């Protein structure tokens, strides 16, 4: 479904991704791990067309994605949830969900089943929601595009534990019950590995390790060396 080949990309004259390669199958879930500043968010931004690509290739469902503008990538099946969420604060929850919706299995009923809080708040404006509810809305809005691949950039950051649990449960349901393909960038390493099938580790803009998520979760040496975390 997705293949990056020797990708070199960044911002202006700065290179962030350097000879980065990876591949994903249809329906696969991937955790993107690494220390701060190694290029995780930049990889998602590059997929959405918001960085300067110097060389390499991005193939999406057999087509050259580098020639696609950002809006065409969303239409082609990429759903992006940025760190900033970027919901429409002056629109209601339901308006946020439907304003850019595309036909498919992810409709209002499916989103409200995934996030019951949103149904309870469906008439509230975006600026009346808590941080956790805004994150649910951002994910729900991206799903309403019915993407082939969902890009989640640190969706658990700064949220209360009870909200983290709700979001993890929803993401797990997407992957296991709906077969939703996704790339998850997350500093909560243990949760990220528990929610995905495979994981890759980035260091200085390139992939330095790739394995099944369960294998990486069991390999404390890899986590300590490349991610700088120690799990109990």
3-state secondary structure of 118: helix
Q: How far apart are the C-alpha atoms of 144 and 73, rounded to whole Å? A: 15
Residue 231 has pLDDT above 90, yes or no: no
Domains and CATH numbers, the chain: 1-77+196-232 (3.40.50.300)
- Residue 100 per-residue DSSP state: T
Mean pLDDT of 71-92: 92
Q: Each residue of 107-120: pLDDT tens digit?
A: 999 999 999 999 99
pLDDT given at position 219 = 81
């Amino acid at each position: 479904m997705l293949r990056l080949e020797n990708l070199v990309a960044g911002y202006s004259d700065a290179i962030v991704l350097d000879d980065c390669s990876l591949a994903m199958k249809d329906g696969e879930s991937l955790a993107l791990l690494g220390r701060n500043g190694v290029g995780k968010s930049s990889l998602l931004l590059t997929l959405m067309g918001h960085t300067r690509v110097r060389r390499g290739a991005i193939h999406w469902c057999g087509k050259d994605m580098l020639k696609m503008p950002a809006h065409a990538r969303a239409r082609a099946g990429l759903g992006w949830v940025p760190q900033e969420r970027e919901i429409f604060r002056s629109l209601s929850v339901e308006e946020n969900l439907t304003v850019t919706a595309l036909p498919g299995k992810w409709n209002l009923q499916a989103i409200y089943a995934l996030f019951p809080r949103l149904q309870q708040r469906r008439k509230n404006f975006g600026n009346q929601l808590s941080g956790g509810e805004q994150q649910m809305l951002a994910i729900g809005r991206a799903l309403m595009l019915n993407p082939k691949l969902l890009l989640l950039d640190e969706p658990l950051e700064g949220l209360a534990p009870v909200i983290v649990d709700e979001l993890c449960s929803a993401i797990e349901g997407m992957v296991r019950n709906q077969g939703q393909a996704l790339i998850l960038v997350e500093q909560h390493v243990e949760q990220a590995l528990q929610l995905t099938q495979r994981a890759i580790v980035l260091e200085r803009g390139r992939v330095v390790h790739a394995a099944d998520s369960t294998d990486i979760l069991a390999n404390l040496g890899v986590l300590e060396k490349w991610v700088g975390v120690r799990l109990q």
